[in-house]
Amino acid sequence: MKHLAWLFLVLSACGTVSCATNSVTVLQRASELSSRPEWADVTQSVQNQGDKTFFLGYVELGVDSSKSAAMNMSDQKAYSAPMEAMVDAFFQQNSVAEDLRQDSSISELVMSSARNSRPPMPGLRVAKRYWEVIEVKSAIGLSYQLHVFSLAEIPTSEYEKAKRAVLARLNGNKELKNVLKEVSKTQRDQLLNPEPKAE
């Protein structure tokens, strides 16, 4: 997700102006809009606005991809984003460092446990969609991409209730607790015995 956010910032900053050796031009937009909607910002993948919480889904595909299939993929990312946010909250609550969160075995275990304890969220729905076709000019030639954004929304009270339930179940999972003890030990060992820097 961080890589996508960085790419989005580069593309946004570039617009149709040359950026390093690339220039980006939006060729086509959904609903003949004149610009990308403010909500379609991958640097703001989770937003809380009063009584609603919003989650962004985003996909970047080849221009020949089916728009409807791309929108379905983007919708699925938006629908899965609340659980990812809950898992991230669990990691933060348990002081798991960012680099160790990237460990696929730990992330998969936590995500699997979270999915198994997922409470119903009937208020979660995709409220908005947006797509655009862009042309990227670079030193190696032209390429074309389809970018699709989906914005899911849920009442904040419903999301917070689901989050509390998931965190309670995750924190009560003995297997996870044992894994997190090992993670904490690894973190401590790395802090106390850092690897020597290469000359």
Number of compact structural domains in the chain: 1
- Position 199 in a domain: no
CB neighbours of 66 closer than 8 A, spacing ≥ 6? none
Instruction: Note down the domain range covering 76.
Output: 2-190
Amino acid at 127: A
Phi-psi region of 183 (alpha: psi -120 to 50; beta: other; left: phi over 0): alpha
For residue 89, what is the enclosing H or E element? helix 67-93
Q: Is the full-model pTM beyond 0.85? A: no
- Position 121 in a domain: yes
**Quick check: 32 and 49 in contact, CB under 8 A?**
no
Q: Which of 152, 145, 153, 129 is nearest to 8 (CA)?
A: 145
The tens digit of pLDDT for each residue in 155-169 reads 999 999 999 999 998
- Position 138 in a domain: yes
Amino acid at 91: F
Q: Longest C-alpha distance within the chain, in Å?
A: 57
- Position 195 in a domain: no
Q: Over the Cα atoms of the chain, what is R_g?
A: 20
- Position 59 in a domain: yes
The tens digit of pLDDT for each residue in 77-118 reads 999 999 989 988 888 887 776 666 666 677 777 777 777 777
- Position 156 in a domain: yes
- Position 197 in a domain: no
